[in-house]
A and B are shown apart, each in its own frame.
Chain A
Amino acid sequence: DGGITQSPKYLFRKEGQNVTLSCEQNLNHDAMYWYRQDPGQGLRLIYYSQIVNDFQKGDIAEGYSVSREKKESFPLTVTSAQKNPTAFYLCASSIGYGILGEQYFGPGTRLTVT
């Protein structure tokens, strides 16, 4: 089965700790994205990557970091600098950045920081 996997589904952390969310795709897509979803709001872009070893800041990158060392993997680290990290995080991929077409989403990770 081709698709995007995110793990874990639920994640709990104490304030002040960094945490890394996993995202893997086997669709052979070049572009990958991280979004944050909060109740009553649309998806907001955190970071995106057009190709391996390249990534760009999205609209709300502060307090987050990413890496793209492999085509199939795009992990997101939520750092202690992120002031309001509790949210639902969605990873997505697409055939190529700038190519019109859908973004395929993973199942999401619910992060709760207390």
Chain B
Amino acid sequence: GENVGLHLPTLSVQEGDNSIINCAYSNSASDYFIWYKQESGKGPQFIIDIRSNMDKRQGQRVTVLLNKTVKHLSLQIAATQPGDSAVYFCAENIYAGTASKLTFGTGTRLQVTL
């Protein structure tokens, strides 16, 4: 039984192409963002993070871009592979005083076709 993926937007990408997954966040006070990957029946795995004082951060085959003006976050995956097929979701952190909260988006399913 699947716990994620139902009624989610889906991005289909051919193997070897680049993927771009987008996320709109809600709060202009958010100071930290994370992208997670969740494979079928598993817990989310950390991919990459970025703080609000940065516009771009690169990892291995992945890049996160942050546009604070329009409250938009994107995840770029280079040379997409079949193993990249999963649900991807962003999370934003709001920290104010003693309260810190990570809010998660609903996710986008990435399907890699051969």
Contact = CB atoms under 8 A, between A and B. Distances in A.
Contact of A41 (B31, B42, B45, B106): B106
A101 B41 CA distance: 24
Contacts of A35: 104
Q: What is the predominant secondary structure among interface residues of chain A facing chain B?
A: loop
B43 A102 contact: no
Interface stretch (A14-22, A60-68, A69-77, A103-111): A103-111
B34 interface: yes
A39 B100 contact: no
B3 A42 contact: no
Which range contains the number of A residues in contact with the other chain?
A: 20 to 34
Contacts of A107: 42-43
A100 B51 contact: yes
A41 B103 CA distance: 12
A100 B102 CA distance: 10
Contact of B3 (A88, A92, A101, A105): A88
Interface in B25-49: 31-32, 34, 36, 41-46, 49
A39 B46 contact: no
Given A37-B3, A39-B3, A100-B93, A105 B102 contact: no
A104 B102 CA distance: 12
